[in-house]
Amino acid sequence: MSTQALFGQLLIGLINGSFYALLSLGLAVIFGLLNIINFAHGAQYMMGAFVAYFLLNKWGLGYWWALALTPLAVGATGMIIERLMLKPLYKLDHLYGLLLTFGLALIIEGAFRNEFGSAGLPYSMPESLTGVYNLGFMYLPKYRAWVILASLAICLGTWFLIERTKLGAYLRAATENPALVQAFGVNVPRMITLTYGFGVGLAALAGVFAAPIYQVSPQMGSSLIIVVFAVVVIGGMGSILGSIVTGFGLGVVEGLTKYFYPEASNTVIFVIMAVVLLIRPQGLFGQR
Amino acid sequence: MAIENPSTLHDPAFEARYQRYAFLAMALFLVAAPSFIYPVFLMKALCFALFACAFNLLLGFGGLLSFGHAMFLGMAGYMSAYSAKVWGFPPEAAILAGMATSAVLGLLAGLLAIRRQGIYFAMITLALAQMVFFFCLQAPFTGGEDGIQAVPRGKLLGVVDLLKPLAMYYTVLAIFLGGFLLIQRIVHSPFGQVLKAIRENESRAISLGYRTERYKLAAFVLSAALAGLAGATKAIVFQLASLTDVHWTMSGEVVLMTLLGGMGTLFGPVVGAFVIAAMENYLSELGAWVTIAQGIIFVVCVLAFRRGIMGELEAWLRNRRK
Amino acid sequence: MKFKMKALAAAAALAFAACGAQAEISGKVVKIGVLNDMSGLYADLGGMGSVTAAKMAIEDFKAKEKGLNVEVVFADHLNKPDVGSQIARKWYDSEGVDAIFDVPNSGVALAVNEVTREKKKVFVNSGAASSDLTGAKCSPNTVHWTYDTWMLANGTGKAIVKTGGDTWFFLTSDYAFGHALERDTEAVVLKNGGKVVGKVRHPLNTQDFSSFLLQAQASKAKIIGLANAGGDTINSIKQASEFGIVKGGQNLAGLLVFITDVHGLGLEKAQGLILTNTFYWDHDDKTRAWSKRFAAANGGKYPSMVQAGVYAGVLHYLKAVAAIKSDDGTAVVAEMKKLPTDDPLFGKGSIRIDGRTLHNAYLYEVKKPSESKGPYDYYKLRATIPADEAFRPLSEGGCPLVAAK
């Protein structure tokens, strides 16, 4: 076929990759510190999109307000969940945490589906980002370009925060040896709660990014989250850099597959996951 | 996975008596049930009960949480439906074909998944199940969103016309009781003992000289085959094989049934399956409330009710004896 | 062992007794089941509106005065064939439902078709499109109202090819409906001298069409045929405008568009779309009067042709039941085929031996925002296709009932 089509699919792949990266970043942050797979991540992403929808349609607060307020609001609910429900489970087998967050995902998605049905609600694109860039080989909507750049910025910012700042150092230390870090006077339980809230906030932020281009619907998280799990496993379960690189990378790989062999585009990420697990079980960037 | 229902052998004679009476009670109830409960509902519950029992073999007794068991249920269903409809297999051959497919799939998946433990194992099974889902979505023979429809029920062994509801019901009951008894034998066999030992403390089992990988893989394949038996039977009963049975939400449902009924007990999954099937049946008018209710049950069970219904019942029975 | 055998025998006897008791009861109440998508992408064009339409038909038929006791039940099939067929089975087996109406989503419709055939009840479909319902899968217990893929292809497809849209790229919903619509439209395009330069299939209920639309753009086809429906069509059209498809010189052909879709899109995005419907609320005085009554009972939302089809179908079904004084499925459907159809919504028509209802079809174009006087004033009439030309000829369907004649 043509290089035009190829570049177009690659760009679409980068856009998808932005969502994969943002979501797997949140999951990696949560797994790294709490050792819990947050199955509710997809539902929290969906909640982010809905909160943005309400901010606009009930209170007239537009997209830019949503970007600031939504992660705080949904992150707060995440912190409440952690305090009330996840804390009692830390002394048990970690798989109970997975089952709990799975149950939470069902409750959240069911409640939204009950209220809004499963067809999508429209969220209008912010004025300043409508229109297209004519790149010659395709028209790239301005909004989608913004998504790529903003996600990159947030991912790199988070990586910097965790890997290069003192706060991040405390976090990484607490992952390795919570008792010792607590003995040094750092409030580890509070840090854990805030970390979970931060991860959830990242998911909600991705939801706000998604609202103008994908329909705001209760099911938007569940189809995406399974792919993101695969991305996280490939990247290495607790690795921040791994989730960013793998997220964008796999988005591009998926885009390429859509061009060369579209029938396999759904499964390619899972196939890669199986291969990586055979050769390097800890993931590309993981340590074990 | 560390679970809360260690099967106690404090008093083997009591345990044996309890198992025998519980089985008889269950069998008698199921034989008489179609006269006061809608048989199609019963058949659905029985298929799910067998599915949950097979899953529990791996989780409750093997300690391995698989989050992708739907692939065995669904894939067997598709093979059973396809062989009955397109190749004209009689029902017993179709069901066996489905079961064999799941066993093979279990072997392939197991070889990949057994290498890891705990959460990683769960994630791998989930991703493998997703691959199977997308394969079923796109492969021409599965009919995609429409599924394989109008599957003939046929004549069992060339003689019994399965279109008659009672004939179909008692066939399904026989399959369920057979599968249940098989699981019971496996659990109480030396193989089952080693499996439980691996669940409790794998390193100790290795140090005792057991090739734990082989035992885990065997348990995985057995669990897959029996789950396939449930799926293949279900396809014949409902004359339809669809994507619902390979979707990851089905994997979640079987976890729920087992957790609610009691992981690590023999009768727990049966109870859990019936409760969940009844809830879906009678609450179906309320639409999304079924999902919410399932989520609430998950959360409550994990936080406060980890032994499950049969787990609590059995613990109470044991305490009474003291 | 002995005990088990006795229990088995007793159980069997009880079961047979229970079966016998059922048959009498259903004769006293005519129970109608409306089965459709109440919460998903087809909820607007059918949903609770179809239930309202069914209730209006029972009222207008004056069932009580004629001595008929008619009840309505409804359920959500979630667009899943297994859910739909299980509900149908339960309705027929243990809730005394005699006839099922609506059922959008061709995959579910085909499954319900089989269950109805097995139980010898009645299935009057108004929401699904697959022409297989009156073709290879036709049944003496099924009637197909309102529209099907052949009608859409020969209405919309032919009109577009004739006006110069001769190269096509299909964006198809990957299930029974999408495949059938693509197949029938491709046949029309080729028959009228056009070419199909590419196809791509998307899963039902897709949110993001960007990669498919890109492929459509790369194909340089003059027409991008949307062989999908409901929410999928709305999303495809919205995202096509986001990616500048129409600006780039290509045109979209919505092969199945309902008034609810146009309402969801808004005239700004939907103007110029060509579509074929068999009912429009603003067609004549009778349809206008009925539609106003309907909107009052339906929260101000005007009827789609699917909901109109449920009304007409229930009306005709009750006529047949009253005529032969029985609700035996196969007999009622045979009577429905004998009686000519006549209602204020579709006018005069008839039901063929393959179960296909024949009535006029209309080619509409969506108005520009400046041409519309208010909400739901969306269509202008381009052409009327008479009943005997609108649907596939009897000989081409491959329905076994036709050959048996």
Q: What is the DSSP letter of C397?
A: S
A275 touches chain B (CB under 8 A): no
Contacts of C115 (CB under 8 A, 6+ apart): C85, C88, C89, C92
- CB-nearest to B240 from C7, C10, C82 is C82
- Interatomic CA distance for residues A259 and A1, integer angstroms: 9
Which stretches of chain A sit within 8 Å of chain C by CB?
1-2, 4-5, 8-9, 12, 15-16, 113, 117-120, 122, 125, 132, 134, 138-139, 141, 143-144, 213-215, 217, 219-220, 223, 255, 258, 262
pLDDT at A3: 76
Residue C350 sits at the vertex; the CA angle it makes with C349 and C354, to the nearest 5 degrees, is 140
| Stretch B87-100: mean pLDDT | 95
- CB-nearest to A118 from C40, C208, C215 is C40
C76 contacts on A by Cβ (under 8 Å): none
pLDDT higher than 70, residue C176: yes
- CB-nearest to C90 from B40, B137, B287 is B40
Which chain A residue's Cα is nearest to C41? A119
- Interatomic CA distance for residues A9 and C136, integer angstroms: 39
Across C71-107, b (16+ Cβ under 10 Å) vs e yields ebbbbbbbbbbbbbbbbbbbbbbeebbbbbbbbbbbb
For residue C123, give the H/E element and its range. strand C122-125
Residue B145 sits at the vertex; the CA angle it makes with B142 and B147, to the nearest 5 degrees, is 40
Distance of CA A250 to the CA centre of its chain: 14
Q: How confident is the model at residue C256 (pLDDT cuts 50, 70, 90)?
A: very high
C43 touches chain A (CB under 8 A): yes
Q: How far is B255 from chain A (nearest CA, A)?
A: 9
C304: nearest Cα among C40, C123, C42, C41: C42
pLDDT at A75: 96
**CB spacing of B112 vs A274 below 8 angstroms:** yes
Dihedral through CA A75, CA A81, CA A84, CA A87, nearest 10? Answer: -90
- Interatomic CA distance for residues C402 and C387, integer angstroms: 19
> Helix, strand or coil for residue C172?
strand
- CB-nearest to B238 from C39, C80, C86 is C86
C246 contacts on A by Cβ (under 8 Å): none
Residues B68, B128 contacting (CB under 8 angstroms): yes
B243 touches chain A (CB under 8 A): no
Contacts of C361 (CB under 8 A, 6+ apart): C147, C151, C155, C276, C277, C278, C384, C385, C387, C390
pLDDT at A263: 73
pLDDT higher than 70, residue C404: no
Which stretches of chain C sit within 8 Å of chain B by CB?
4, 7-8, 10-12, 14-15, 18, 38-39, 75-76, 80-83, 85-87, 89-90, 93-94, 106-107, 110-111, 114, 174-176, 203-204
- Interatomic CA distance for residues C250 and A143, integer angstroms: 22
pLDDT higher than 70, residue C19: no
- CB-nearest to C211 from A9, A119, A122 is A9
Proportion of chain B above pLDDT 70, given as a percent: 98
For residue C254, give the H/E element and its range. strand C251-254
pLDDT at A288: 56
Q: Given the structure tokens 């106690």, which residue do they identify?
A: B8
DSSP string of C57-91?
HHHHHTTTTTT--EEEEEEE-TT-HHHHHHHHHHH
A27 touches chain B (CB under 8 A): no
Q: How big is the B-C interface in CB pairs under 8 Å?
A: 85
Which chain B residue's Cα is nearest to C16? B35
> Helix, strand or coil for residue C227?
strand
CB-facing half-sphere around the CA of B301: CA atoms within 13 A: 32
C-beta pairs of B113-118 under 8 Å, 24+ apart in sequence: B113/B66, B113/B220, B114/B213, B114/B216, B114/B217, B114/B220, B115/A277, B115/A281, B116/A277, B116/A281, B117/B64, B117/B202, B118/A93, B118/A94, B118/A95, B118/B1, B118/B65
A80 touches chain B (CB under 8 A): no
Q: How far is A143 from chain B (nearest CA, A)?
A: 30
pLDDT higher than 80, residue A33: no
B interface mutation test: which of C72, C82, C94 has the most B CBs within 10 A?
Answer: C82
Look at phi and psi of residue A165 and say left if phi exceeds 0, alpha if psi is from -120 to 50, else beta: beta
- Interatomic CA distance for residues C390 and C384, integer angstroms: 9
A127 touches chain B (CB under 8 A): no
Question: How far, in Å, are A184, C296, C363, C367, C377 from residue C370 at the CA level?
Answer: 72, 27, 21, 8, 11
- Interatomic CA distance for residues B217 and A5, integer angstroms: 45
Beta strand C30-36 with B160-161 is unpaired
pLDDT higher than 50, residue B145: yes
Across A264-280, b (16+ Cβ under 10 Å) vs e yields ebbbbbbebbbebbeee
Q: How far is A34 from chain C (nearest CA, A)?
A: 32
Residues B291, B32 contacting (CB under 8 angstroms): no
A139 contacts on C by Cβ (under 8 Å): 243-244, 247-248
Question: How far, in Å, are B38, B153, B158 from residue B161 at the CA level?
Answer: 19, 8, 8
A113 contacts on C by Cβ (under 8 Å): 39
Per-residue pLDDT tens over the stretch A66-121: 999 999 999 999 999 999 999 888 888 888 988 999 999 999 999 998 888 777 78
- CB-nearest to C81 from B33, B40, B149 is B149
A164 touches chain B (CB under 8 A): no
Strand partners, C74: C34
CB-facing half-sphere around the CA of C168: CA atoms within 13 A: 32
Q: How far is A127 from chain C (nearest CA, A)?
A: 13
Question: How far, in Å, are A15, A56, A207, A211, C247 from residue A127 at the CA level?
Answer: 20, 13, 19, 14, 19
| Stretch B240-261: mean pLDDT | 94
Q: How confident is the model at residue C17 (pLDDT cuts 50, 70, 90)?
A: very low
Q: How far is B70 from chain A (nearest CA, A)?
A: 14
pLDDT higher than 70, residue B14: yes
> Helix, strand or coil for residue B301?
helix
- Interatomic CA distance for residues A128 and A107, integer angstroms: 36
A215 contacts on C by Cβ (under 8 Å): 207, 231, 235
> Helix, strand or coil for residue C346?
coil
pLDDT at A82: 93
Residues C150, C131 contacting (CB under 8 angstroms): yes
**CB spacing of A103 vs B288 below 8 angstroms:** no
Query: Where is mean pLDDT largest: A103-112, A177-186, B135-144, C267-276?
Result: A103-112
C-beta pairs of A149-154 under 8 Å, 24+ apart in sequence: A150/A18, A150/A209, A151/A18, A151/A19, A151/A21, A151/A22, A151/A206, A151/A209, A152/A18, A152/A248, A154/A22, A154/A25, A154/A202, A154/A205
**CB spacing of A103 vs B299 below 8 angstroms:** yes
Q: What is the DSSP letter of C304?
A: P
pLDDT higher than 50, residue C167: yes
**CB spacing of B149 vs C175 below 8 angstroms:** no
**CB spacing of A263 vs B138 below 8 angstroms:** yes
B248 touches chain C (CB under 8 A): no
pLDDT at B7: 57
Query: Cβ atoms within 10 A of the Cβ of C288, count?
Result: 14
Amino acid (1-letter code) at residue C347? G
A interface mutation test: which of B105, B299, B305, B306 has the most A CBs within 10 A?
Answer: B299
pLDDT at B9: 54
Residues C146, C135 contacting (CB under 8 angstroms): no
Strand partners, C366: C379
B242 touches chain C (CB under 8 A): yes
B203 touches chain A (CB under 8 A): no
Residues B89, B100 contacting (CB under 8 angstroms): no
C interface mutation test: which of A118, A125, A253 has the most C CBs within 10 A?
Answer: A118
**CB spacing of A274 vs B137 below 8 angstroms:** no
Per-residue pLDDT tens over the stretch C77-133: 988 999 999 999 999 998 999 999 999 999 999 999 999 999 999 999 999 998 999
**CB spacing of B144 vs C114 below 8 angstroms:** no
pLDDT at A151: 95
Proportion of chain A above pLDDT 70, given as a percent: 99
- CB-nearest to A117 from C40, C210, C214 is C40
Q: How far is A104 from chain B (nearest CA, A)?
A: 6
pLDDT higher than 90, residue C310: yes
C interface mutation test: which of B24, B28, B29, B35 has the most C CBs within 10 A?
Answer: B35
Beta strand B155-156 with B160-161 is antiparallel
pLDDT higher than 70, residue C12: no
Which chain C residue's Cα is nearest to A116? C39
pLDDT at C18: 41
Per-residue pLDDT tens over the stretch B179-221: 999 999 999 999 999 999 998 888 899 999 989 999 999 999 9
Strand partners, C251: C223
Query: Cβ atoms within 10 A of the Cβ of C198, count?
Result: 16
Contacts of B110 (CB under 8 A, 6+ apart): B216, B217, B220, B221, B224
Q: Which chains touch B (3 or more CB pairs under 8 A)?
A: A, C
| Stretch B262-280: mean pLDDT | 93
